[in-house]
Structure 1
């Protein structure tokens, strides 16, 4: 594991970041604290006037591998003041937002941390062990920091994501549905983690399905709780970004299983099949496939998301 070689930025425990931020907002940086359960720092943006007492969470997605931690740090710092799904929703709600700074190694490229793939979840020791639990610990710490700033938020959070962070949001929702108020995820490569052990006789292990869920997580899958969780899942009709083709996202074994039971074509075959399986399992989900949209979003999509969020908080 290369984590010990990564250059982790040394900062004070709490820093106000002024660049590109309105003076009406504060961005607090919280150092890694393994004793509290998280081995990487995170950013927490707090608007001066809180209109919505929910913490928005969107995990970082650098979009590239690098063994220089500062690359991921700068990407997350830019994202929290940008207009990706989570930061945009947080601005419109006037709510706080948390973005972790998880690395994505070039040397250990098969560990696709930003998507919470199988390799990531199977890390048994070191700084990368159970990033999902680390995120829960960050959320807990963020709530304590918000209290220090006279902000009290709901116990459950709004989890958003797009592309790799969208896949992470989808997978995290199945791991920890109790911690979430709702989920918004897009740019999902036409594939979702499925709430079933197998399809057409083919066993589906994490992150394809729940066949080995208890074995690798130590807990059973709470299907009832997860299925009741409000979810907004979307793709652009012209999206051709198929992560299934790439070895960092899926192994050969996973790729063969996907092609066998869900189809080789991302859209419409695989995306439609996943939707059918969710609907057959009575999942509380709203699906959208947006015309004339590729691997991205626009104002209509953002406004649809905002309406969904307001209806479910």
Structure 2
């Protein structure tokens, strides 16, 4: 990659000395209070201040009040990198990311007073070697102390200018020295350094990228099209396929499909915005990038305004009037529509898809897989205790918590009435062959026995749409407790019927999807795709990785498939006062400078 930079205005450098508070001593639970003042006089409410221990990596994040005040406890004494992050709700005059001098704390009470300089809006333009603008380039920023902003917030416009997603104009507010980086879609956990901008007034910078096809991506919103069989919109995403260069091999790729479900209290505008965020920086995109596969996020309702059905329950399957008729078939129509739109891609799109979902979206995955198992290669579902039973009657070999009051398993408890509801019998043979990964957090249990009434239990799902009998049947079979009873009974049932399924309980995890769970989901889909479609082409990005909160580097010289790659590109930086620096950098052994997107997490949140 060859990089050039044109700088039109002056620059200012930032020092890196440490501010010492008190005398040295080892202690935990250290109280720190203070104030961050804005040189621009801006309201700092909602802006975050991050502390990261330079030696141990211990981290804390605190949200500032409107006057910049804060109060938090740090877990241990030592030197902390201190960084302001203004990524959630951009404020005029406050930089996106800014690092202060390191702070040393070593007593029970410390006071820290900081001043963040006024930020100036700068324009950053990315062009190719022919000076043509590079659109859809994922760009991010890193403070002088090595702390990165949250990824997935910025991309380039059709004119090549860096812009925050959803903003009405390009530009980013920065102060002092800030590193500009590209987040390769094919390897979202790393970043590639473009260069450092030094900002003291409004400026414009330009970077030349010789191989933008490796880093740019495409996603677009497809509006509902009743003539094509779907009334609701969907997002489609296509990652770059730079590594798939073997013309002698015909690649086959499945769609990676997820859901953004709208409840009655959410507007469609909000749902579209959430869907855009989800496909831009969520699990769907991460898995699509890793598998080199296109992704689709369907924006579907959880229920209609009258709440007459939920997801794909038995009432939903009987709706015949638009726009809510047969949401499962609408998803199939979205997939067909997306296949046509990607007809010119350099790969064949498989007839079977990879599904993933969590909580309600996980139940949607479960139900869709039961309805159309012949269309699903792999399905991951998390955050739910019970599962739909792949039988029409509760036979003696099926595990249950206590003797039920009925044996017929009507949908969606089981499959007894599916043929009447859909016109097609349950395809048990295809369902057993679907690769499934079901997961839950050990802390997602709760205890209904501690509550005054069972309905207060977090997981006391109400199936009011099809009566008390099916609700009671679920309790008889699966019990109350989400993890110990429901999830375990689901596992036993799947084992009994011979399903191709893995069940995993993650210790220390509640009703959420932290990085450890994300990796498990990714590993499952990677393994399933390899088994069905063959090896996944190697990742091309590798080199030295650096923790986002650290200035130190560590070696990471293999790609996501465990293989070395080779390439060589020229890098040059030009600009008034900089002279000309040029050289050749190898992507493998010599390496790009790769920065790890191990973002600072608030460890007590």
> TM-score, with normalisation over the residues of structure 1?
0.85
Alignment partner of 1:107 is 2:302: no
The offset of 1:107, in angstroms, is: 2.9
Q: Secondary structure at the match of 1:102?
A: strand
Deviations 1:56-87 (A, max 9, x none): 0001134x423632222222122111323x23
1:81 paired residue number: 280
1:132 paired residue number: 328
1:12 paired residue number: none
Higher helix share: 1
CA contact (8 A) 2:136 2:155 kept: no
1:72 paired residue number: 271
1:293 paired residue number: 509
Alignment partner of 1:180 is 2:376: yes
CA distance, structure 1, for counterparts of residue 302 and residue 430 of structure 2: 31
Superposed counterparts of 1:201-240, under 5 Å: 201-240=406-445
2:253 paired residue number: 53
1:192 paired residue number: 387
CA contact (8 A) 2:459 2:482 kept: no
Deviations 1:206-256 (A, max 9, x none): 111011111111101111110011111111111148544345787533321
Say which is worse superposed, 122-131 or 235-244, in terms of deviation: 235-244
The offset of 1:140, in angstroms, is: 0.9
Deviations 1:95-152 (A, max 9, x none): 2110112134573234323xx2333223222211000001011111111111144453
Q: 1:36 to 1:306 in 2, by over 3 A?
A: same
Q: 1:21 to 1:224 in 2, by over 3 A?
A: farther
CA contact (8 A) 1:67 1:105 kept: no
Question: Structure 1: where are the runs of 5+ without partners?
Answer: 1-15
Q: 1:284 to 1:265 in 2, by over 3 A?
A: same
The offset of 1:311, in angstroms, is: 1.8
2:289 to 64, 70, 91: 91
2:477 paired residue number: 261
Q: 1:234 to 1:249 in 2, by over 3 A?
A: farther
1:281 paired residue number: 497
Question: Structure 2: where are the runs of 5+ without partners?
Answer: 1-134, 138-151, 157-215, 245-251, 395-403, 447-457, 530-605
Deviations 1:239-278 (A, max 9, x none): 1485443457875333211112221222211221111111
CA distance, structure 1, for counterparts of residue 485 and residue 303 of structure 2: 32
1:35 paired residue number: 227
CA distance, structure 2, for counterparts of residue 186 and residue 196 of structure 1: 22
Q: How many residues align?
A: 293
CA contact (8 A) 1:121 1:130 kept: yes
CA distance, structure 1, for counterparts of residue 290 and residue 256 of structure 2: 11
CA distance, structure 2, for counterparts of residue 248 and residue 47 of structure 1: 42
1:270 paired residue number: 486
Deviations 1:6-62 (A, max 9, x none): xxxxxxxxxx98994645111122221112111112110111227672210001134
CA contact (8 A) 1:38 1:135 kept: yes
> TM-score, with normalisation over the residues of structure 2?
0.45
CA contact (8 A) 2:440 2:483 kept: no
Higher strand share: 2
Q: 1:126 to 1:67 in 2, by over 3 A?
A: farther
CA distance, structure 1, for counterparts of residue 303 and residue 388 of structure 2: 24
CA contact (8 A) 2:383 2:441 kept: yes
Deviations 1:161-186 (A, max 9, x none): 11111111111111111111111111
Superposed counterparts of 1:296-311, under 5 Å: 296-311=512-527
CA contact (8 A) 1:89 1:306 kept: yes
CA contact (8 A) 1:21 1:81 kept: no
